[in-house]
Structure 1
Amino acid sequence: MTARTDPLVPGQRPSPPPVHSEATRYLCVAAHTDERFAERVLDEVLGDELRAVAPSVGFDVSPVLRHCLVARHRRRRRDLRLLVFGGLAVLLAPLWTLLVIGAMRVGTSLTPFRPTRERMLGPLLGMIVVALSALVLLIQFHLVTVVESSPAGWLVGRPWLALPAGIAAFLALAIHLHGTRWLLLTRLRRDRFLATAPDEVSLPSRYADRLAAVDEAQHGNVTVYGGYVPFVGHGTPVAGWSFALPIRPAEHVTGLSRPEPAPFTVLELIDHVRGRLASLDAGLGADRLAGLTLEDRVFVGGHLLTGDHRLLPDQERAPRQRFTPEEIRQVAANPQGAARHYLCALVPSWGAEVVAGTFLHFSTDGKLLYLECARTVLEPPRWAYHEVDRLTDWMSARQLVQMLAVATDRLVPTAVGAAGRLLTDLGHALRHRARQARLRRLAREDLGYDHGARVGVRELATGTDYHNYFQVLDAAKHLKVVERHVLAAIVDFLDERGLDTAEFRSRQTMILNQGIVQTGGLSVVGNQAVGSGARAEQHGQPPPAGGGERPRPV
């Protein structure tokens, strides 16, 4: 059976990532409220200019990157102020400053004094205790008579001069927190979302070319992945299925002539399944999947690009991430190389916070038809990022106390680490060009250099839990609806061509029923257990590294 020559879908382009989706907004929030997330994003996407970009699933990565750069700039200004005021306090009164730091660490570590949204008294008492401790230490040092010319005079110093420096450091951190709140309130709350980063910060020129390349690459139809799992950027893999089906004529009534089965190609099967799934977006009823995105995507390992001038024309540059329809057709019809074609069905829900992905791969040698269905679920961003939607236009006394308590709680660790962060950032900025030159040299000398994306930005922001019960159910429903229609489309396709479907129908029944097993008072749905003393185990699919236990729709 030979492949036909017309492309899969002429001129097909994947739908552009939603700039104003809830997922985009929460990732922009994460840039300003989660320093670790912001730095990891910048390192993964901008730190290596030879690395491919993971696909943007349900969000737009460009505004997220710009917000991360703005957040880094704001944190540098904060750290610089803390370094100046903190260093001044240490120079003026080293011993007093160290004792106050110790008192603050003890005072803020007590559970009743921790800043919370629900209680105002605890944080208020915590700040009072810290202030009184500093005042008592100041008075004690003032009463102690120390000869300034003695060796210990410099150690005591002048605490009454160091106190204003300490207060200035506290105010600098509090002002930074208030500025973050104002930015979230005016630009990132649901009713005021502006995807563009604030104009007050000029982005570093060294990132201009990379930002433009990333913006183009996220719209591509080729995923160049690093590591083992190809579906980088699409979330956590969940149970799928695959099998090989013999291609033979259908059985007919004895005595009647058996008609020759109509030949077919893999491309025809892909088109047929795509057409069936496309009807789900425009259809009516329980099976309608609003927002369903269908795209032909090619996956290839980042260390397997050498010699493929379609994707890597220059070893010292990032790979291309867009194939023409003709190139996609060639990969789909001949899946023997490193590049593999998948028909991707992505169903977003909850403002694209949850995305259920189904990846279909078909191939044949004329005697066997190989069918594969891989599935992923992109879980919602961490719950802490949703706090932005609780911000009010005015700041109540409770919220003010909470913000000041947070400043008190974070002052010591933030100020102590300021010098190290500034030196690290300075080193990265000075060594940026040298680092890129070193990476280009490594790529030139190593033909197996891995250009693949290691992790998606969405995956860096994913929490370990769903936010409510219905998010799990919606993801499971979308996977099941797509699966049912895929199986039905394959049966129809084989029947229309006079091919035997008995074995496939048996496997279809097994696939559709494998997710539900009733045992007494315990129901097991896929790898989820519901009931008294419930427990579900899944074999053959290892849990994702670094993630906690979570329900997974199957």
Structure 2
Amino acid sequence: MGAAVAIDGFGPGAQIPLQNTGGGTGATNALASAAYRDSPLKTIQEADNDLYKTTVKEGKWGLFSPDLGEAFSRAVQVRMLGGARKALIQSFGAEPQPVVEHCLAATHLRRQRDIKLTLVTFFCGVLFLPGLLLWLGVIQLRRLVAGSENKRNSAFGTALLWAAGIFAALVLLKLPFDGILPNYLRAMVVAPVVGWFLASRICLNAAVDLRERWTGLLGGGGVGPHVPKSVPQDPGEKSAEALRVNLEKLSAEQQSNIVFYAGTKGILGLGTRWGSWTLAEELVPQPGKELHAFRAWDVVRRIHDELALLERGSLKTGFPKPTVKHWIVSPVGEGADEVTRPEGDNIVHYQVKPHEIQRICNDQQFGAGNRHYLGVQFTLWDGNLVLTMMVTVTSLHHTLRIEVTGHALGPVHGLFTTKPKAKTKEVAKTVRFWETKEIQQPLLTTNDIVRLAVRAPLTWYPPVLEFLGGKMSLPEPFGLRHVWAGPLWKNRFMADDAIRMATPVLRAVHAATLKVLDEHNVETERFTNRSLVLGGGIQDPGPKKADVYDA
């Protein structure tokens, strides 16, 4: 059976989560808020880190350029719901489906706005095309010179707009009032101005609505995403059915137990490896006893049971419940721009079957192929901190090796957690000119309204808009969470959580291992001594670049 999702019926019905990720909504809402933002598109590059870079491609005409919310929504939808999309990296600490649904909802709101703007553009612009082109030319010239550091150029742009207004007034007053042509010329000048006024009302209402949703998400509440036609009502609604199938595939891939190791980038989605502790000793039978044979899976199974009990301690400290899961780690190149999820009879719904996991754990410990890791994961700080300890058990010749590695994924970049601010401008006071004050500016400028109005008729075919105005390209291999993760070790409390979590996990792993060895008549003195050494060393661990070898 392949990796396709089996789907029956035409409604979602009752759904049972495949696995509880334990993640909060903070990181999810922060990422989803980008769909409603009206910031300049290039601000997305502020969220780039050392490993992943977002590409912003400029278009042919700046008047058609998208803002951050428009470009983000379009890029995320194409990348995560496209029919021929590449495999996705899991978003640990966040849920990708709500983010995609907010992108769809934001796109729907903008399309409702654009339908109204298109009607205004047609009746007040296309029918009076010469006047529309005249005004667009004036606004584009002003757009080019306005904001220039050269005050003379900025003054020229303002004067240009005033000159156009005076010319319009002369046309209205000096032309004769009889005849079709004079009245058409008069309407040709006035109609675009009337259209601009109507468009400003439409754009302002939509902008306020989008900003309220942006604020609501970051405030922990807000209106949920409304995605029209996401649930088909009959077999004929093919687009709604395709959307539902793609959303279910997205959720299934999020629950996949296959992850990818990419060199110094670490395990994709889990963050880089910051620490490593190894317990490796020779298997020697106890005096006077015969060693009972066992396999790596016997040790892994006992470790799994021990890690699942981590939250049960002698002290009531609020230790969070961990998520313990078997992972299959597949190697990819450090510079790979895509990953491929394996398919076959041993994989169902992107999940490797249990018997295949056990086989990989016992047999694929050396040489080429995928590897088995047992992961214990803590999702903290409302999804903004994901701590994962990965345990691997190998047995080569007479040596048993238990390796524990720590991985940490930092918080969502601060760009996604900023709330909307009123637009202000600093100006000199009238009397005390040596002092300044801030004055509030309109939410939308003339340039913003014109930009939205000229984009509106083309929203039915996004490739044209991307050619004219530009677009953003997401970093690969792409996952919503890890490509915009901020630094972890600069936050003292988050760093403390990562370091403190390593000690109980390491000791639980060693305790479970020693129990299995003792049950199989293995002399445990060397293992115990080595465990004590590691236990002493982890008293004061420090983060290192464990995936970067100095060789």
Cα 1:75–1:489, aligned 2, differ >3 Å: closer, same or farther? same
SS, match of residue 33 in structure 2: helix
User: Alignment partner for residue 80 of structure 2, among 22, 32, 45?
Assistant: 45
Which residue is equivalent to 2:349? 320
Kept in 1, the 8 Å contact 2:375–2:390? The answer is yes
Give the whole-Å Cα distance in 2 for the aligned partners of 1:353 and 1:490.
Answer: 32
Q: Which amino acid aligns with 1:351?
A: D
Q: CA deviation at 1:25?
A: 2.6
Which residue is equivalent to 1:540? 549
SS, match of residue 64 in structure 1: helix
Kept in 1, the 8 Å contact 2:273–2:408? The answer is yes
Give the whole-Å Cα distance in 1 for the aligned partners of 2:452 and 2:415.
Answer: 20
Give the whole-Å Cα distance in 2 for the aligned partners of 1:494 and 1:463.
Answer: 42
Cα 1:373–1:36, aligned 2, differ >3 Å: closer, same or farther? farther
Which residue is equivalent to 1:498? 523
Structure 2 gap segments, 5+ residues each = 1-16, 38-68, 177-183, 232-238, 332-338, 426-438, 467-475
Cα 1:360–1:402, aligned 2, differ >3 Å: closer, same or farther? farther
Q: Which amino acid aligns with 2:381?
A: W
Q: Which amino acid aligns with 2:399?
A: L
Which residue is equivalent to 2:384? 353
SS, match of residue 55 in structure 1: coil
Q: CA deviation at 1:361?
A: 1.7
Which residue is equivalent to 1:62? 97
Kept in 1, the 8 Å contact 2:273–2:547? The answer is no
- Is 1:16 aligned to 2:1, yes or no? no
Which residue is equivalent to 1:76? 111
Q: Which amino acid aligns with 2:36?
A: H
Kept in 2, the 8 Å contact 1:347–1:355? The answer is yes
Kept in 1, the 8 Å contact 2:458–2:465? The answer is no
User: Alignment partner for residue 232 of structure 1, among 239, 261, 268?
Assistant: 268
Q: CA deviation at 1:480?
A: 5.0
User: Alignment partner for residue 247 of structure 2, among 199, 203, 211?
Assistant: 211
Q: Which amino acid aligns with 1:424?
A: P
Q: CA deviation at 1:540?
A: 3.0
Correspondence 1:91-490 to 2 at 5 A = 91=129, 92-104=131-143, 106-107=145-146, 134-143=161-170, 158-184=188-214, 188=217, 190=219, 192=221, 196-198=224-226, 204-205=239-240, 206-220=242-256, 222-223=257-258, 225=260, 231-234=267-270, 236-241=271-276, 245-249=280-284, 257=287, 259-285=289-315, 289-300=319-330, 303=340, 305=342, 308-311=344-347, 320-335=349-364, 338-387=369-418, 404-406=442-444, 410-411=448-449, 414=452, 422-424=460-462, 454-463=477-486, 468-479=491-502, 481-483=504-506, 485-487=508-510, 489-490=512-513
SS, match of residue 98 in structure 2: helix
Q: How many residues align?
A: 448
Structure 1 gap segments, 5+ residues each = 1-12, 113-125, 149-153, 312-318, 429-452, 517-524, 528-536, 543-554
Residue by residue over 1:185-232, the C-alpha shift from the partner in whole angstroms, topping out at 9 and shown as x without a partner, is 56x3545356x5226665742322222222334334x22659766833
SS, match of residue 346 in structure 1: strand
Q: Which amino acid aligns with 2:102?
A: H
Which residue is equivalent to 1:531? none
Give the whole-Å Cα distance in 2 for the aligned partners of 1:321 and 1:473.
Answer: 34
SS, match of residue 442 in structure 2: helix
Which residue is equivalent to 1:3? none
- TM-score of the aligned structures, taking structure 1 as reference length: 0.65
Give the whole-Å Cα distance in 2 for the aligned partners of 1:375 and 1:140.
Answer: 70
Give the whole-Å Cα distance in 1 for the aligned partners of 2:77 and 2:503.
Answer: 36
Percent identity among equivalent residues? 19
The higher-RCO structure (CA 8 Å, 6+ apart) is: 2
Q: Which amino acid aligns with 1:139?
A: I
Give the whole-Å Cα distance in 2 for the aligned partners of 1:482 and 1:270.
Answer: 14
Residue by residue over 1:391-446, the C-alpha shift from the partner in whole angstroms, topping out at 9 and shown as x without a partner, is 9xxx9999xx9683355564455556556654226899xxxxxxxxxxxxxxxxxx
Q: CA deviation at 1:290?
A: 0.6
Give the whole-Å Cα distance in 2 for the aligned partners of 1:421 and 1:167.
Answer: 21
